[in-house]
Structure 1
Amino acid sequence: MPNTHRLSPVPSTLAVALALALISPLASADDASGTTPKDLDAVVVTASPLKGNTESVATPVDVLYGEDLDKAKAGTLGETVAKLPGVQTTYFGTGVGRPIIRGQEGPRVQVLSGGIGSMDASTVSADHAVSIEPFLADQIEVLKGPATLLFGSGAIGGAVNVVDGRLAESIPDQPLSGRAEVRGNTVNDERTGMFRLDGVNGNWVLHVDGLVRDTDDYDIPGVAILHDHEEGEEHEEAPQPNGTLPNSSVRTKAGAIGATYLGDRGYFGLAGSTYRSNYGIPAGAHVHGEEDHDHDHNGENDHEEHEEGPVRIDMVQNRLDLKAGVYNPASFLESINLRAAWNDYEHVELEGDEIGTRFTNEGYDARLEAVQKTWNGWRGAFGLQFGSTDFSAVGAEAFVPSTVTDTLGLFVLQQKDFGPWKLELGGRYDQVKLKPDDRASTDFSATNLSAAAIWRLSDGFDLRFGLDRSERAPTNEELFAGGTHVATQSIEIGDAALDTEKGVRAEIGAHWHTDRVDLKLAVYQTKFKDFIYLTDTGVEEEGYPVRLWTQDDATFTGAEAEAKIQLADTAAGAWDLRVYGDYVRAKLDGSGLRTVAFDVPHGDHTHGYEVDIAQGGYLPRIAPMRVGADLGWSLGGWRASLGAVRYSKQGDLAQNEEPSAGYTLVDAHVAYRWDRPASSWEVFLDGSNLTDEEARPHTSLLRDYAPLPGRGVAFGIRAYF
C-alpha cells in the first residue's frame, strides 16, 4: 500500500486557507464601512442544563431548526444531519442511517430524544435502525466532540439530541397551534403524512403527533452489486438487479400523546410514544456464509436449507417520558429537574415468513440535576444519572449474549465570564456494570474532565479552545460477541479482557460574524489510548471472515469549516452562499505486529487460532474529505436553492479494505409560502441526486451491494397554524 499519509492533511489545509482568503476581504469591507455585526438568532441548546444559545456555548454544537430543518429532513436521523460540517451518516438502505461525528460512530455517538438515550439496538449492528423519527422534530442538536459530561461514557465521540416538543418547555402563545405535511417522492414512490397539535388549557399544554410513511423499492442508477463474488470464482448467478434495488422498501408509523403542567413553582409532564418500522435489507448484504461455499462441502442440502425469502426487520418501540421540576427549592438553587424515560424495544429479523432472530431491549434512563444560582460569578449544575437496560438476542444469528447493563454517573458543570473570556469546566464519574447471562459480570469506571473557553476579541470575532479527557466503557458486543454476525458478513469475536477506552481531545476554533458573513472554523485532534476497533484476522470459518474486537492506541485528526455569505439583497431577491467542508484522518499509532490467540465457535466445539495483527495503519470506513456549496435565493414568499457536495475518493485504507470512488451529489429546492389570517401554507419541490450519479459511501457496509438512491424529486405541502 502506498505511503500517502503525510500528504493527506493538505486538502483540508488548502480548504481552510481558501475559505479564509475568500471571506477575509468581505469581512474587512464590512468592518471598514462601519457596519455592526449581525444579531444572531438565540437558538437555545436544550441538551445543556444551563440552556445557552449556539454562540454562547463554548463546546462545539450545531442546531438544525426552522427552514433549514424542513429542507434537511429525511427518512433517517443520520441522513437528516449529514450536511452539517463534521457530520456524515452510516447507510444500510433507506431504513437505516446513524450519525457519524468526526469519523466516530456506533456506541461512541449517543442518540437522544429530549436529552435521554434512545435505548434501541442501533449500536449493536449496522442494520439496526434508530428509533427516532426526524420528521416530528422541532430542532436537532449535534454536539461535536466528547459529550460525556452530559450523557455519560457512551458519548465519547459526540451526541445528537432530537427535541420533539412532546413535553412542553413553555406555554404556547395560541390556544391551539400545530403543523402538518403531506409529501411524495419519485425515487421510491414515497407517501408520507404527518401532523402535530399543541393545545393550551390554563397551565396545561397538551400535545399529540403522528406520522405514516410508505415507500416502495427505490430507483438506482445502474446495477446494484459492485462485487458479488471473488475474482475467478465461477458459479451460476441470479440476474443482477438493475435500475431498482430489490427489498429496499420502508413502512413506518410513529405517534405520541403528551401533557405538561407548567406552574409558577414547578412543572410536570408525561408523554407516551410509539415507533414502528418495517424495512428491507437489500439483497446481497444479509446472506448466509454457507451458501457462498457450498461447493467446498458438496452441500446441496445445505444450499436448499438456507434458501429463504428476502430479509426484513420489523421494529416496535414503546416509550414513556417523564419530566418534573421545582423552581427555587433552596436559597442557593435555581431549580431541581428530573428527566426520565422507560423503554420497551423489540425487533424481529424476518427471513421470508420465518423469524430468524429476535432482539429486545427493555429498561430506563433517568437524570436528576440541580441548577445553582449565580455565586461569585459562577453558574453551574450538578447531579446524577442512572439507568438499566436488559438486552436480549434469541435466534440463529444471536451473536451477542443477553446482557443487563447498569449505569450510574455523577456530574458537575461550571461556567464563568472573566472579561473577554468565558470559561466552562466540568467533570463526571461513571460506573458501568454488564451482567451477561452466560458468564461473570464485568465492572468499569470512567472519569471525564473537560475545559472549554471562548476568547472574545471583538463583538463579531472570537477564538474557541477545548481540552477534554474522556473514557468509555466497552459495550456488550465488544466484550462478549461470539458468533456469526450476518449483517456484516463476518464472525465477530469479542474480548472480555478489554479495558476502558481513553481519549484526550484538543481543539481550536474561530467564529466570525458580520452583517454579511458568518464563518466557523475548527481543527482538532483526539489521541486515544486502548481504542476499541474490529480488525480482520485473515481467518475464514464456514465461509465468513473472522473479525476480532481488539484495542490499540489511535489518533483522529481533522478540520471543518463553514461559511455563510450574504451576496446581495435587491429588488430581484436576496442571494446567499453557503460553503462548507470537512476532513478527518484516523490512524493506529503503532507499528509492527502482535500475536493474538482466540477461539471461534464451531457447532458444539471451538476452533483455536493464533494470528499476527498489524498495530499500525488506518481505521476502517472513515468518511472521506468532503466539500460542498449551496446557493440560495428568496423573494417574498419564494425561496430556492441549488447545491452540490463532492465526496473524495477514500484511499486511506485499513488492512483488507478496498478504496471507494469519489462522487458528487447535486440537489435543488424550491418552495412558495403564503400567509393566511390564522395559518401559513407552503408548497415545495426538493430534488436530490439530480445528475443520477452512482454513489457508494465509504462509510457504508453495503457499498458493494446497494448504491444510494438515484435521481428523485420530493413534492408536497406544509401547513402551519
Structure 2
Amino acid sequence: MSRPLSSPLRNGLTLALAAILTPAYAADLPSTAPADEGASPPSDTRHAQDAAKGRHVKDLDSVIVTASPLRDTAAQLSKPTDVLAGERLDENRAASLGETISSIPGVQSSNFGPGVGRPILRGLDGPRVEVLSSGMSTEDVSTVSQDHSPAVESFLADQIEVLKGPSTLLYGTGAIGGVVNVVDGRIPEAPIEGGFSGRAEARFYGGDQSGSTDMARIDGGNDRFALHADAVYRNAKDYDTPDGKQPNSFIDTKTGSVGGSLLGDWGFVGMSVSRFEDDYGNPGEAGDLAAGERGVHLQLRQNRYDLKGGLTDPWGEGSGLRFSFSHTDYKHIEFEGDEPGTTFKKDANEGRLEASYSASNGWKGAVGLQGSDGTFSAVGEESFVPRTTTRALGVFGVARKSWDMDSGKEFQLDLGARVDKVKAEPDGLDKRDFTPVSLSVAGGFKLDENWRLTVNLDHAERAPAEEELFADGPHLATLAYEIGNPDLDKEAANQIEFGLQYKSDFVDAKVSAYYNRFKDFIYLVDTGEQWHFEEEDEFLPIRQWSQRDATFRGFEGEATFHLADNDNGRWDLRTFGDTVRATLADGGGNVPRIAPSRLGAQLRWENNGWRASLGATRYNKQDKVAANETPTDGYTLVDAHAAYHFDGGRLAWELFVDGSNLTNQEAHVHTSFLKDVVALPGRSVSGGVRIFF
C-alpha cells in the first residue's frame, strides 16, 4: 500500500495552486460585483447563467451530448437522455459514480460501501450498463463483482451524460440497459478560451463522515495546440451510521492525467495518459481490529492511454470523421488482512471510428465501426472465473430527418441498426460465439412551442458476460458460491417507450413510461442450497446464473417550477419520481435486487452570488422480492446545500457547505448484496472552496 499524504500537505496542494495564481490576478481581486462576461474565468459556468438571458438559462437540455455521434443537444434527442453539469453536478459529486448521478430519475446506485457504487438504470446494472470515459469503455472489471469499483473519477467530470434504455446501437451489447458517459476533457478538442483556464477544489467532511477530497485541473494553449493536466486525491476514514461505526469503509484514491492536442480549422488530434489508484475497504468482511484482524480491502491500479482525433467537414458542410483508440492495463488485488488473496487483471484495447454526414435532402446520419480485444484473469483464492479472452467487432448506422408541419408542428424520425460479433475464449473450456443484432425506430412530435411527444421502439441483444458463462467457485465478496452456465443464449430486449415534455415560463417537465420484454433474461438466482467453505468453516449460499423471460415496466418524471424571479432572488421547486417493476415469466416471481420506487423534491434559491437548497427523497419499502431475498424498509434522506460565489475578472471563488441525511435516518440500499450488514452514513456535512481561473 502506498503511504497517504499527511493531512496538512494533502489539503494544501489545491489551495497552493490558487495562491500561486493570485498575484497574477491581484489587480482584479476580489469584488462581489459581477465581472463582465468577457473577462470571466472560462472554467466558471456560472457566468453563463445571467438572469437577463432568460428563465431557462440553467436548462441542461441545451448542452451538447457527446455520446451521440451527431453531437446533438439533449432537447434534440428522441431517446431519454439526461446531462448533469454545472452547479447541480458540483452539489452531487461523490466518491462513487453511482451516488453522483443518483438524483436523476430512473438512476440509482449499487452499494458496497462508499468506495463502490455502479449506476443502476431502470433496474438494470452490471454488464447491461456501459460506463464510458469520454466515449470509450473504462475497461475495468466492475461488472464481474459488485465490490469492484469503476475506474473513473466523477470529480474531474465536465459533465456526465446518462442515456437510459437500450443504447446498443452506439456502444454494443454492454449497453442494453443504457450508457453513463463521464466527459473529462483530458484530450482537448478546441482551443482553450483565453489561452489558459482551470479549476480547483478542496472539500472537507465532518459529522458522521471524515476526510477530504482535493482536485485541480489546468488547461492551456493557443489556436494550434492545447495541453491538459489534472489530479485528485481523496482520503476518507470509516464512517458512522445511526447504529455506530461502519468498519472497513475507508477510501484512499489518487488519480491524474496529462494530455495534449494539435488543433486547427481542419479538426484536432490528441492523446492522454492517465493513472487511477483506488484503495478501499470491503465493509462486508470487516475483520476485527481489536483482535488484530484487518478486514478485506482492495488495491486497484489502472494505466490508461487514449488517442483521439476528428476532421471537420471532410466531405462537405455538416460532415465529420472521428476516431478513438484506448489501451488499458488494469489490476486489483484483494487483500485478506495483510495477505494478498486474489489478483484480478484485465488488459484491453478498444477502437472506434465514426463518420457523420448531412445530406441535401435533409437526412443526417452516421456510420461507425467499433472493435475491442480484452483478456481477463483472476488468480488466487477467489478465482471463480477462468482466464478469458473476449473479442468483439460491431458496425452501426443511425439516420435522422425532420419535417416541418403546419402551425409550428414538427416531426422527427430516427432510425438505427447495429450488428456485433462477440467471441469468448476461456482457458480449458469451449469457446462461445454470439452475433447480437439491434434495431431502433424513434419519433419525436413537436406539437407546439410547449409540448413534445416522443415514441421509441427498440430491439436490442446482448452477449453473456464472462462471469455469467464461466463462473464456478466461491465469490467471497458477495459471500456466495457462484456457478455460471456456458450454454447461455444471447439476451434480447424489446422495448416501447413514450415520453412527454412540456416547457413554459412557469414549468419545465418531462415524463416517460416504458415496457420492456426480455427473452432469455440472464440473472443470478439463489438456489437455496449451500456450499461448505472449509477455510472459514462456514456455509455459503449457492447462486446459479440462469435464464428466463422477464418483463420490466416503469415510469419516471421530473418537473421544475419557476416560482419567482424578483429582487428577492430566483425560487425554483424541483420534483421527481421513478418506479420500476420487474417480474420473471411462467410464475418465476420477481427479479432480484430491483431498486425501490422514489419520490423527491428540492427547493432552490439564488440571489447576488448566493444560492441555497433544501431537499428530501423518499425511498419506499421494497417488498416485491425474489425467492430467498428479504425485503428492505423505506427511508427518507434530507439534504441541503449553500454556496457564495464571488469573482473579479479572471479569478473566481466559491465557498460552499453541503449536508446529507440531516435527519440521521438508518438507510439500507436494497440493491446491495450487503444491505443487511451495511448502512449509509448518518448525519454528515462537508464544506470547502472552489476556485475558477
TM-score of the two chains, using structure 2 as the length reference: 0.88
CA RMSD of aligned residues (A): 1.6
1:41-190 correspondence runs (5 A)? 42-186=62-206, 187-190=208-211
CA offset digits 1:557-605 (Å, max 9, x no partner) = 00001000011122222111000000000000112xxxxxxxxxxxxxx
Report the residue type matching 1:392 in the other structure. Answer: S
Query: In structure 2, what is the equivalent of residue 193 of structure 1?
Result: 214
CA offset digits 1:653-688 (Å, max 9, x no partner) = 100111100000000001000011211100000000
Partner residue of 1:643 out of 602, 612, 615: 615
Distance 1:308 1:644 in 2: 39
CA offset digits 1:390-441 (Å, max 9, x no partner) = 1010000110011010000000010000221011110000010001111121
Q: Which deviates more from structure 2 when the two are superposed, residues 327-336 or residues 641-650? A: 327-336
Distance 1:139 1:663 in 2: 29
Distance 1:640 1:191 in 2: 22
CA offset digits 1:332-366 (Å, max 9, x no partner) = 98222101111010000011111100000111111
Distance 1:374 1:73 in 2: 41
Deviation at 1:367, TM superposition (A): 0.6
Distance 1:150 1:190 in 2: 39
Partner residue of 1:590 out of 566, 582, 586: 586
Work out whether 1:577 is the aligned partner of 2:573: yes
Distance 1:204 1:79 in 2: 36
Work out whether 1:211 is the aligned partner of 2:240: no
Distance 2:116 2:203 in 1: 20
Query: In structure 1, what is the equivalent of residue 12 of structure 2?
Result: none
Partner residue of 1:396 out of 373, 381, 384: 381
Partner residue of 1:562 out of 545, 558, 564: 558
Partner residue of 1:544 out of 504, 516, 540: 540
Partner residue of 1:679 out of 638, 643, 651: 651
Distance 2:585 2:436 in 1: 23
Distance 1:540 1:677 in 2: 66
| 8 Å contact from structure 2 (residues 284, 674) kept in 1 | no
Work out whether 1:371 is the aligned partner of 2:356: yes
Change (3 A) 1:285 1:376: farther
Distance 1:383 1:673 in 2: 43
Distance 1:37 1:81 in 2: 24
Partner residue of 2:312 out of 324, 327, 337: 327
| 8 Å contact from structure 1 (residues 285, 702) kept in 2 | no
CA offset digits 1:258-316 (Å, max 9, x no partner) = 001121223101000111000001144799xxxxxxxxxxxxxxxx9xx9631110000
Distance 1:271 1:367 in 2: 16
Report the residue type matching 1:128 in the other structure. Answer: H
Distance 1:518 1:333 in 2: 31
SS, match of residue 498 in structure 2: strand
Work out whether 1:470 is the aligned partner of 2:460: yes
SS, match of residue 713 in structure 1: strand
Distance 1:98 1:438 in 2: 31
Distance 1:48 1:428 in 2: 15
Work out whether 1:342 is the aligned partner of 2:342: no
Partner residue of 1:449 out of 439, 447, 457: 439
Distance 1:425 1:191 in 2: 47
Distance 2:128 2:585 in 1: 20
Partner residue of 1:698 out of 670, 678, 681: 670
Report the residue type matching 1:669 in the other structure. Answer: H
Query: In structure 2, what is the equivalent of residue 250 of structure 1?
Result: 251
SS, match of residue 329 in structure 1: coil
Report the residue type matching 1:642 in the other structure. Answer: L
Deviation at 1:624, TM superposition (A): 0.7
Distance 2:504 2:413 in 1: 24
Change (3 A) 1:629 1:406: same
Deviation at 1:373, TM superposition (A): 2.6
| 8 Å contact from structure 2 (residues 285, 296) kept in 1 | no
Deviation at 1:330, TM superposition (A): 3.5
Work out whether 1:662 is the aligned partner of 2:634: yes
Report the residue type matching 2:78 in the other structure. Answer: A
Deviation at 1:327, TM superposition (A): 3.0
SS, match of residue 382 in structure 1: strand
1:616-627 correspondence runs (5 A)? 616-627=588-599
| 8 Å contact from structure 1 (residues 308, 351) kept in 2 | no
| 8 Å contact from structure 1 (residues 37, 459) kept in 2 | no
Work out whether 1:525 is the aligned partner of 2:515: yes
Q: Which deviates more from structure 2 when the two are superposed, residues 186-195 or residues 693-702? A: 186-195
SS, match of residue 458 in structure 1: coil
Distance 1:266 1:569 in 2: 42
Deviation at 1:182, TM superposition (A): 0.2
Report the residue type matching 2:139 in the other structure. Answer: M
Query: In structure 2, what is the equivalent of residue 489 of structure 1?
Result: 479
CA offset digits 1:605-644 (Å, max 9, x no partner) = xxxxxxxxxxx10011101110000001111110000000
Deviation at 1:487, TM superposition (A): 1.1
| 8 Å contact from structure 2 (residues 457, 497) kept in 1 | yes
CA offset digits 1:488-541 (Å, max 9, x no partner) = 111111101100000000000101001120001000010000000011111111
SS, match of residue 70 in structure 1: helix
1:268-347 correspondence runs (5 A)? 268-284=269-285, 309-330=294-315, 334-347=319-332
| 8 Å contact from structure 1 (residues 210, 255) kept in 2 | yes
Change (3 A) 1:676 1:37: closer
Distance 1:266 1:63 in 2: 25
Partner residue of 2:371 out of 386, 390, 401: 386
Deviation at 1:372, TM superposition (A): 1.5
SS, match of residue 174 in structure 1: helix
Distance 1:702 1:569 in 2: 46
Query: In structure 2, what is the equivalent of residue 600 of structure 1?
Result: none
| 8 Å contact from structure 1 (residues 175, 201) kept in 2 | yes
Deviation at 1:37, TM superposition (A): 9.2
Query: In structure 2, what is the equivalent of residue 436 of structure 1?
Result: 426
How many residues are matched?
624
SS, match of residue 142 in structure 1: strand
| 8 Å contact from structure 1 (residues 361, 390) kept in 2 | yes
1:346-365 correspondence runs (5 A)? 346-365=331-350
Report the residue type matching 1:656 in the other structure. Answer: N
Q: Which deviates more from structure 2 when the two are superposed, residues 355-364 or residues 39-48? A: 39-48
Q: Which runs of 4+ in 1 moved over 2 A?
A: 36-41, 283-287, 325-333
Query: In structure 1, what is the equivalent of residue 44 of structure 2?
Result: none
Distance 1:194 1:81 in 2: 19
SS, match of residue 64 in structure 2: coil
Query: In structure 1, what is the equivalent of residue 491 of structure 2?
Result: 501
Query: In structure 2, what is the equivalent of residue 606 of structure 1?
Result: none
SS, match of residue 107 in structure 1: helix
Deviation at 1:329, TM superposition (A): 3.3
Unmatched segments (≥5 aa) in structure 1:
1-35, 223-242, 288-303, 592-615
Distance 2:471 2:551 in 1: 25
TM-score of the two chains, using structure 1 as the length reference: 0.85
Change (3 A) 1:75 1:630: same
Report the residue type matching 1:421 in the other structure. Answer: F
Distance 1:195 1:498 in 2: 46
Q: Which deviates more from structure 2 when the two are superposed, residues 189-198 or residues 119-128? A: 189-198
Deviation at 1:103, TM superposition (A): 0.3
Distance 1:646 1:346 in 2: 38
Unmatched segments (≥5 aa) in structure 2:
1-53, 405-409, 533-538
Distance 1:330 1:45 in 2: 23
Q: Which deviates more from structure 2 when the two are superposed, residues 85-94 or residues 275-284? A: 275-284
